[in-house]
Structure 1
């Protein structure tokens, strides 16, 4: 007689096709309802929820489940049965055996309505909520779609160092780190190393990785550590090529997410995902200032619109164009990084852009200055110490192609895609000036 093979795990989503069969399920006991002769358990796994039913005629099984608490992790063996009266799924699993793998404390630290800060304090519990499960399913699909676009268009992936000997954006926003008797800095972006790759003849590069900004910001869209999505492309004519690529890249990625998760996003977040259609509307910084003046919004700076200005402008343009995305181009050089290329006809302006999605900046990009002498002059103009930038400046001494690129915030894309109020809701573990745990 052949030995009986052990059951392999089934997912809850597979159960409608397994009625009448014995199955093995693994998950968390969401709720427990005891009656004199019956026990009902709602089991949850990443694919759904199902009612487990136990008839209390097995003394040993009953004793084992008497200690079960909500959110304990359990393994259950049972038979799938059609049960039209069960509103949850129209079926149930009749328990034959069960094992409690991890018994939860009887008093849970949070509930779904506990508030965001408590959610983060107890992330091992809040991650189980269906909305949070969906966030990271969407994130995975989004990144896979981005990578598929890059693969189709000849990009290569790099992994740049996050410990640097100098700053990569500006000296005031870095985290210094003690490093064998000297000081290193946590990378604010992979900017320098993307450009090094272009100088090295890798014509299209991308990276998805951590970035660090020592900004004392306490807004709903800022984190001191965040995931940055970066691209750099060689042999471009100007920054308009970069905007064209980003339009096609985002449209592709959002369309893939909509197809894979659109129904579930609508159900859990109340958002209808509509892939954007290129071309995206574009206004220059000067035009944006004129529009905001007509709307009676006063800018705080002459070289930046500010978060409120971006929101007002985007709302106005969305009404005029029926488009959620908006490019702002030709920013003043005084408000942009020193390595952004200046316009030949108007050196006070850069060949750069920001992309707003429903009023929030999700991208900053530009054509870079690839000519060594001009780059040195622009760094010196800002008062930067050239010795500190010597490694970076050397990238351009031996013949670098014209190039440009962009940095995109993953968390901000997810915020806008799922219409959440805070970036913390779409981040595994938040890092802010006041949060470094868990």
Structure 2
């Protein structure tokens, strides 16, 4: 069997024998000639076959082809500038149907997102969706390259836990032999354990789970979390510096490799952000949006999504930047393990990173002193005994450290200007979606 050539590589070949394989996107079945458009994972090409008098087996197969069927074709490559699709075509010699499709597709271009998700494997055949996951691959590879080149260790933390990784809210419970396990909300505990282990700098890209009943465009019950943790930090500023350098490296790779394709498919120009990213203390950010006519309507001291959009708009106008670190969050709205300011216990060494108006990450310097950590847990009303296995990490010495967690799908969604993480998640999981 001849080795197939990807469509994207055909233009560089000389005229002559070639084998292509993919699925049938269109069929034009004319009296004297038959045309197919075949698409594979790299692009589309026109196939052509003159129709013989009285038809033959191949012409009858082409006439009966359902769109979406997978075929393999041996033929002759011919360069012809008159062919609108890339200036090349393949003249069909032999055609084999390797996977026939049902004749009627259950989805179309204007089908709703919910129904398209029901038939996700068909929805993913769209070229722009293929591109999304190539962009995601480039993005993740650039993250790993940045980390590995700087001596980070990649870890894979367990997703079954004996106790909550964050809080008792939004937990999935799983029967586990004679006891109950919890699906990890984040790798937080085990990232910090690596600091006690002396690993220094670590990262993980892996699944996380939140039993969150939200139906917003940016929430999922299972998502891919991008996490890093580093030792010997002086403050959250060290974490922010690593975080912004990491994103610049990733966005540079995406722009270099896919910038033109993204512009064509999504009408978005990828911007590589300047360093450093703007930094605004949260209290100052809330005052800025208040001065611009929006008072954040929350009982606590947090920012809300509209406030995030407005401070992002201010930053774009003022600094020409798509990113902003909101820093120094109140301790009342942060986890007990965030380090508090030495001179103001009401504030933490923490941040949220906003990208194009939406929060994509939370980071912080962690509290590494066991006595302070226990006291902060009690202040938050937590049971120190229940946190025993976590607190044990700190009883034998831990260096000053900090890190962040960031949602992969949110970043890709915002990068491409898409309306929902459903579009950029391979198989989305939400409160009412467990299939396919």
Larger deviation: 359-368 or 375-384? 375-384
Cα distance in structure 2, aligned partners of 1:247 and 1:264: 25
Contact residue 112 and residue 126 of structure 1 kept, 8 A = no
**2:286–2:295: 8 Å Cα contact kept in structure 1?**
no
The 5 Å alignment of 1:359-398 reads 359-398=357-396
How far off its partner does 1:389 sit? 1.0
Distance 1:17 1:212 in 2: 46
How much does 1:18 deviate? 2.2
Which deviates more, 413-422 or 84-93?
A: 84-93
Shift of 1:203: 0.1
Structure 1 position 37, deviation (Å): 2.4
Q: Which residue of 2 aligns with 1:74?
A: 71
1:259 to 256, 261, 264: 256
Residue 344 of structure 1: which of 342, 345, 352 is its match? 342
- State the TM-score, normalized to the length of structure 1: 0.97
Q: Is 1:302 matched up with 2:310? A: no
Residue 13 in 1 paired to residue 8 in 2?
Answer: yes
Between 1:360-369 and 1:173-182, the stretch displaced more is 173-182
Unaligned runs of 5+ in 2: none
Distance of 2:285 and 2:199 partners within structure 1: 36
**From 187, 192, 195, the counterpart of 1:190:** 187
* Equivalent residue for 2:111, pick from 111, 114, 118: 114
Q: Deviations over 1:96-154 (max 9, x none)?
A: 00111111110001112212112211011011101100000000000000010001111
Q: What is the alpha-carbon distance in structure 2 between the residues aligned to residue 257 and residue 84 of structure 1?
A: 31
Alignment of 1:94-133 (within 5 A): 94-133=91-130
Return the offset for 1:8.
1.1
1:409 aligns with 407
Correspondent of 2:245 among 248, 253, 256 = 248
Q: Deviations over 1:190-219 (max 9, x none)?
A: 000000011000000000000011111111
After TM superposition, give the deviation of residue 379 of structure 1 in Å: 1.1
1:411 Cα offset (Å): 0.5
1:145 pairs with 2:142:
yes
Deviation of 1:15 after TM superposition, in Å, equals: 1.3
1:148-187 paired onto structure 2 within 5 Å? 148-187=145-184
Contact 1:112 1:129 in 2 (8 A): no
Cα drift, residue 362 of structure 1 = 0.8
Corresponding residue SS for 2:360: strand
Task: Confirm or deny: 8 A CA contact 2:29 2:63 kept in the other structure.
Answer: no
Query: What is the deviation of 1:82?
Result: 2.0
Task: Write the deviation string for residues 46-81 of structure 1: whole angstroms up to 9, x where unpaired.
Answer: 111111001222712223323211010110110011
Structure 1 unaligned blocks of 5 or more: 1-5
The count of corresponding residues between Structure 1 and Structure 2 is 433
Q: Is 1:35–2:30 an aligned residue pair?
A: yes
Please name the residue that 2:417 is paired with.
419
Match status 1:313 vs 2:308: no
Distance 1:75 1:146 in 2: 37
In 2, the alpha carbon distance for the partners of 1:269 and 1:405 equals 32
How do residues 214-229 of structure 1 correspond to structure 2 at under 5 angstroms? 214-229=211-226
Could you tell me how far apart the structure 2 residues matched to 1:301 and 1:101 are?
61
Which runs of structure 1 show a deviation greater than 4 angstroms over 4 or more consecutive aligned residues?
A: none
Give the conservation status (yes or no) of the 8 Å contact 2:24–2:69. Answer: yes
Moved more, 255-264 or 376-385: 376-385
How many angstroms apart in 2 are the aligned matches of 1:17 and 1:402? 55
What SS does the corresponding residue of 2:182 show, helix, strand or coil?
strand
> Equivalent residue of 1:171, what SS?
coil
Match of 1:3 in 2: none
Q: Is the 8 A contact 2:352 2:362 kept in 1?
A: yes
